[in-house]
Amino acid sequence: MTTPPRPASRPDRVSLLRYLRLFRRDILSAQPERLYRARMAEFRTPFFRSFLINQPDLVRLVLNERPMDFPKSSRISEGLRPLLGNSVFLTNGAQWQRQRRIIDPAFEGGRLRETYPAMLAAGQAAVARLREAPGRFEAEAFASHVAADVIFRTLFSIPITHQVAARVFHAFRAYQRLQPILNLAAFIPLPRWMPRFHRPGVRRRAREIRALIEALTAERMQAIAAGEAPDDLATKIMTQEDPETGARFDTAEMVDQVAIFFLAGHETSASALAWALYLLAAFPDAQERVLEEVSRLPENPDFADISRLNFTKNLFRETLRLYPPVPMLVRQATKCEKFRDRQVPSGAQIVISPWHLHRHRRMWEHPDAFDPDRFTTENGKACLREAYLPFSSGPRVCTGAGFAMVEGPLLLALLVRAFRIGPVPGREPVPEAHLTVRSRDGIWLEARPR
Residue 8: CB atoms within 10 Å: 9
Distances (CA, A) of 415 to 37, 119, 139, 270, 447: 37, 13, 12, 14, 9
Tens place of pLDDT for every residue, the chain, 450 residues?
478 999 888 777 777 677 777 776 778 888 889 999 999 999 887 777 889 999 999 999 999 999 999 999 876 666 677 888 888 888 999 999 999 999 998 887 678 889 999 999 999 999 999 999 889 999 999 999 999 999 999 999 999 989 889 988 888 877 766 555 444 445 455 445 444 445 556 778 888 888 999 999 999 999 999 999 999 999 999 999 999 999 999 888 999 998 888 887 888 999 999 999 999 999 999 999 999 999 999 989 999 999 999 999 999 999 999 999 999 899 999 999 999 999 999 999 999 999 999 999 999 999 999 999 999 999 999 999 999 999 999 999 998 899 999 999 999 999 999 999 999 999 999 998 877 889 988 999 999 999
Instruction: Tell me what pLDDT residue 78 has.
Output: 65
Instruction: Tell me what pLDDT residue 181 has.
Output: 47
In DSSP terms, 337 is beta-bridged to 344
Residue 253: CB atoms within 10 Å: 20
Instruction: Tell me what pLDDT residue 90 has.
Output: 86
Distances (CA, A) of 106 to 87, 90, 100, 113, 411: 16, 20, 10, 12, 22
CA neighbor of 333 nearest in space, from 355, 351, 309, 307: 351
The dihedral built from the CA positions of residue 359, 361, 362 and 365, taken in this order, carries a sign that is: positive
Query: Cα–Cα distance between 429 and 426 in angstroms, integer?
Result: 9
Q: Which domains does the chain have, with CATH numbers?
A: 16-449 (1.10.630.10)
Strands 419-423 and 431-433, by their bridges, are: unpaired
Amino acid at 381: K
Query: Cα–Cα distance between 23 and 433 in angstroms, integer?
Result: 9
Cβ-based burial of 224 (10 A; exposed 0-12, middle 13-18, buried ≥19):
middle
pTM of the model: 0.92
Query: Cα–Cα distance between 390 and 397 in angstroms, integer?
Result: 9
Specify whether the CB–CB gap between 416 and 315 falls below 8 A.
no
Instruction: Tell me what pLDDT residue 77 has.
Output: 65
Residue 14: CB atoms within 10 Å: 14
Residue 172: CB atoms within 10 Å: 22
Specify whether the CB–CB gap between 249 and 88 falls below 8 A.
no
Helices (H), 85-192: 93-103, 109-132, 139-156, 163-178
Instruction: Tell me what pLDDT residue 195 has.
Output: 46
Instruction: Tell me what pLDDT residue 194 has.
Output: 45
Q: How many Cα neighbours within 13 Å face the side chain of 344? A: 27
Q: DSSP labels for 285-298? A: HHHHHHHHHHTTS-
Q: What is the 8-class DSSP label of residue 38?
A: -
Specify whether the CB–CB gap between 243 and 101 falls below 8 A.
yes
CA neighbor of 424 nearest in space, from 282, 273, 319: 282
Query: Cα–Cα distance between 140 and 242 in angstroms, integer?
Result: 37
Give the rounded distance of the alpha carbon of 57 from its chain centre: 24
